[in-house]
Chains A and B, each alone.
Chain A
Amino acid sequence: MTEKVHTMHEPADESVDSAARSTGGVAAPANKLIFSVNDLSVDYGAFTAVRDVTLGIYANDITAFIGPSGCGKSTVLRCFNRMNDTIKSAKVHGSILYHDIDLYGPTISATQVRRHIGMVFQKPNPFPKSIYDNVAYGPRLAGLKNKSELDELVETSLRGAALWDEVKDRLKSSALGLSGGQQQRLCIGRALAVKPDVILMDEPCSALDPIATARIEDLMQEIKQQYTIIIVTHNMQQAARVSDRTAFFTTEVNSESDRRTGVLVEYGRTDSIFSQPVDDRTEQYVTGRFG
């Protein structure tokens, strides 16, 4: 399976290879391939939002999806934990292999997938419950009832999200009383409490001020030691700062229907995407001449 991804056609693969070559000087061993996405397309009714995406995601990397709005980067992200299932008109074609298991296979439960692959959303969305109950929500679903175990898990998760010191004295007060940045870190902590393998982040900083954004970015660097992170961002500087690999998406106008469909243009190590992009469209975008 892994082989197949690497021998794929299209600029995506070529750039993976070229990226590998361009980082040849670095001695770090190549990370394990955790996702391989093959010919992924998503339709909303008759409209194709994004098509023919093929790429591989590596463990303990931060992978950034960038591109102009409407390019389908969030749509692709929501395929990794089957959140597109919640949109009734959405249809997913192609496959996403997660540790060689097809996430869209017939026996796979979206609910279980989401326990392995957590998600943080664009707008902080804590539940209207206490801080503690927000973090304990996922573990409780899994049947964890033991009070001391829960307490410990809440603490480690909040520490993991660099929020513990700020909220340890008011765990029982409403999560809605926190600032936007704190709420977003709470949502990260809430995702960590489920002990996921991968964390998907859908423009997690777009509703935050620069200081809160910086804290989330630091946090991402800390937790990537244990987790694989995929982040969608509209902010190129952010992608350049935090990510190891970058995938650039753009829109193509369908000549017949005049609808826009997202496509993957180029994928590779972040430094090469930003310094030596292979595709003209990538270059135009990262140098600010487009999008």
Chain B
Amino acid sequence: MTAVIDNTSPAPAMVPLLSDLSSVSGRRRNKNMVMTVLMGVSVVVVGFVLLLVLITVVRKGWSIVVSEFPKWFTKDIQLSPRRAGPGMKAAIVGTIVATATATVIAVPLGIAGAIYLNEYGKRSAFARTLRFLTNVMAGVPSIVMGLFIYVFWVVPRGVDGLNAFSGALALACLMLPIVVRSTEEMLRLVPQNLRDASLALGATASRTTLTVVIPKAAPGIISGSLLAIARAAGETAPLIFTVGAAKATNWNPFSGTNTSLSLQIYANAKESFPTAQERAWGAALTLIALAFLFTFGARALSGRLSRTTES
């Protein structure tokens, strides 16, 4: 006789009754229900907080942005935090100048690094180390990036070192690992047979990358870069040490101190004057609008990407 037939074998259930097949024990069913409800509640809680933040910002920021429109966008910032009146042009320009400069630095470098990782380095020890360090760099606090650029770039140049370019360097340090990671992910999605097809026609590796791989991954790369830009535009800490302070518009990244929307929010939030706080909410509304604009742009692009790859 085989082992199964002996007495110690698990005995099959007797003919089941209807109640045996009806719902599970109250305790197990309740636990299942409670946990499911808690999961739903988590989603609701975060949605509620997000909505609360957005509504507060819009409600409190709206009036100063639209009162005496378009002065918010065309006038420099009031010199005294105590005095009322719109004007955030200097900060808007500063944010655009610093973020754009950072983009020009970080995006090409990041794309190049990602190409190296995905097309050349692949699973080599150096590439693996590089990938690991990219993750490490993505985890470095933004304030450390600011301190680094201050020590490394601003100090040797003295007061002249405080300008939008220095701020852009710090922001670029922040963006670089994000761009590398998202770009590598997009390159990995490009099917190998596309590369093989190009190589089989006698194209060199670099030509294949530039004419086949990059165009195929372009929407994804741009979308990833836009997200990095949105992140950089909202950053404050790296700019505290690097751009100095200003209330007048300065389009020149290389000379003269500057300011940004984030710095204005930070500075005005610390003031107790209602005029300053109103300015902070206005700047917050402007900054969120800017960040969401880039994010929605990125989403629209990646939506288009998934459609083109599906078809």
Chain A–chain B contact at Cβ < 8 A: yes
Q: Is A101 an interface residue (CB 8 A)?
A: yes
Produce 1/0 per residue, A226-247, CB < 8 A to B: 1100000000000000000000
Produce 1/0 per residue, B13-52, CB < 8 A to A: 1011010111111001000000000000000000000000
**CB pairs A–B below 8 angstroms (9 shown):** A107-B22, A108-B22, A109-B21, A109-B22, A111-B23, A116-B20, A192-B10, A197-B12, A227-B12
Contact status B21-A103, CB under 8 Å: yes
For A108, what are the chain B residues with a Cβ–Cβ distance below 8 Å? 21-22
Q: Is A193 an interface residue (CB 8 A)?
A: yes
Contact status B24-A159, CB under 8 Å: no
Which of these binds chain B: A65-73, A149-157, A276-284? A149-157
Q: Which of A59-116 contact B (CB under 8 A)?
A: 98-99, 101, 103, 107-109, 111-113, 116
Q: Is A25 an interface residue (CB 8 A)?
A: no
Instruction: List residues of chain B with CB under 8 Å of any chain A CB.
Output: 2-5, 8-13, 15-16, 18, 20-25, 28
Complex Cα–Cα for A157 and B3 (A): 10
Contact status B22-A196, CB under 8 Å: no
For B8, what are the chain A residues with a Cβ–Cβ distance below 8 Å? 152, 155-156, 159
Q: A103-B21, A109-B22 are known; give 7 further A-B pairs, CB within 8 A.
A: A108-B21, A112-B22, A112-B23, A156-B9, A157-B10, A197-B12, A222-B2
Complex Cα–Cα for A103 and B21 (A): 8
Contact status A112-B24, CB under 8 Å: yes
Q: Is A160 an interface residue (CB 8 A)?
A: yes
Q: Is A223 an interface residue (CB 8 A)?
A: yes
Given contacts A107-B23, A159-B4, A225-B5, are A193 and B13 in contact (CB under 8 A)?
no
Given contacts A99-B16, A197-B13, are A109 and B3 in contact (CB under 8 A)?
no
Contact status A113-B4, CB under 8 Å: no
Contact status A101-B18, CB under 8 Å: yes
Contact status A226-B12, CB under 8 Å: yes
Complex Cα–Cα for A155 and B2 (A): 15
Contact status A195-B12, CB under 8 Å: yes
Contact status B10-A197, CB under 8 Å: no
Chain A-chain B contacts (Cβ-Cβ < 8 Å), number: 71
For B28, what are the chain A residues with a Cβ–Cβ distance below 8 Å? 141
For B24, what are the chain A residues with a Cβ–Cβ distance below 8 Å? 109, 111-112
Complex Cα–Cα for A196 and B9 (A): 12
Contact status A101-B12, CB under 8 Å: no
Produce 1/0 per residue, A187-221, CB < 8 A to B: 00000110111000000000000000000000000
Which chain B residue lies CB-closest to A32? B15
Across the interface, B16 reaches (CB within 8 A) one of A101, A152, A222, namely A101
Which chain B residue lies CB-closest to A155? B8
Contact status B9-A107, CB under 8 Å: no
Contact status A197-B3, CB under 8 Å: no
Would you give the shortest CB distance from B17 to chain A, in whole angstroms? 8
Name the prevailing secondary structure of the B interface residues.
loop
Would you give the shortest CB distance from B236 to chain A, in whole angstroms? 43
Contact status A112-B12, CB under 8 Å: no
For B13, what are the chain A residues with a Cβ–Cβ distance below 8 Å? 116, 195-197
Q: Is A29 an interface residue (CB 8 A)?
A: no
Instruction: List residues of chain A with CB under 8 Å of any chain B CB.
Output: 98-99, 101, 103, 107-109, 111-113, 116, 141, 143, 152-153, 155-157, 159-160, 162, 164, 192-193, 195-197, 222-223, 225-227
Given contacts A156-B9, A226-B12, are A107 and B18 in contact (CB under 8 A)?
yes
In order of increasing CB-CB distance, the 8 nearest A-B pairs are: A109-B23, A159-B3, A195-B10, A160-B4, A107-B22, A197-B13, A222-B2, A111-B24
For B25, what are the chain A residues with a Cβ–Cβ distance below 8 Å? 143
Given contacts A116-B16, A226-B4, are A195 and B22 in contact (CB under 8 A)?
no
Would you give the shortest CB distance from B163 to chain A, in whole angstroms? 54
Would you give the shortest CB distance from A144 to chain B, in whole angstroms? 12
Would you give the shortest CB distance from A88 to chain B, in whole angstroms? 15
For A107, what are the chain B residues with a Cβ–Cβ distance below 8 Å? 18, 22-23
Contact status A193-B20, CB under 8 Å: no
Complex Cα–Cα for A99 and B18 (A): 9
Complex Cα–Cα for A141 and B29 (A): 12
Contact status A226-B9, CB under 8 Å: yes
Which chain A residue lies CB-closest to B14? A197
Most A C-beta atoms less than 10 A away, residue of B4, B5, B20, B25: B4
For A197, what are the chain B residues with a Cβ–Cβ distance below 8 Å? 12-13, 16
For A223, what are the chain B residues with a Cβ–Cβ distance below 8 Å? 4
For A98, what are the chain B residues with a Cβ–Cβ distance below 8 Å? 16, 21
Contact status B21-A112, CB under 8 Å: yes
For B9, what are the chain A residues with a Cβ–Cβ distance below 8 Å? 156, 159-160, 226
Complex Cα–Cα for A112 and B9 (A): 22
Complex Cα–Cα for A49 and B309 (A): 28
For B21, what are the chain A residues with a Cβ–Cβ distance below 8 Å? 98, 101, 103, 108-109, 112-113, 116
Would you give the shortest CB distance from A11 to chain B, in whole angstroms? 30
Contact status B16-A156, CB under 8 Å: no
Would you give the shortest CB distance from A27 to chain B, in whole angstroms? 22
Contact status B10-A193, CB under 8 Å: yes
Would you give the shortest CB distance from A98 to chain B, in whole angstroms? 7
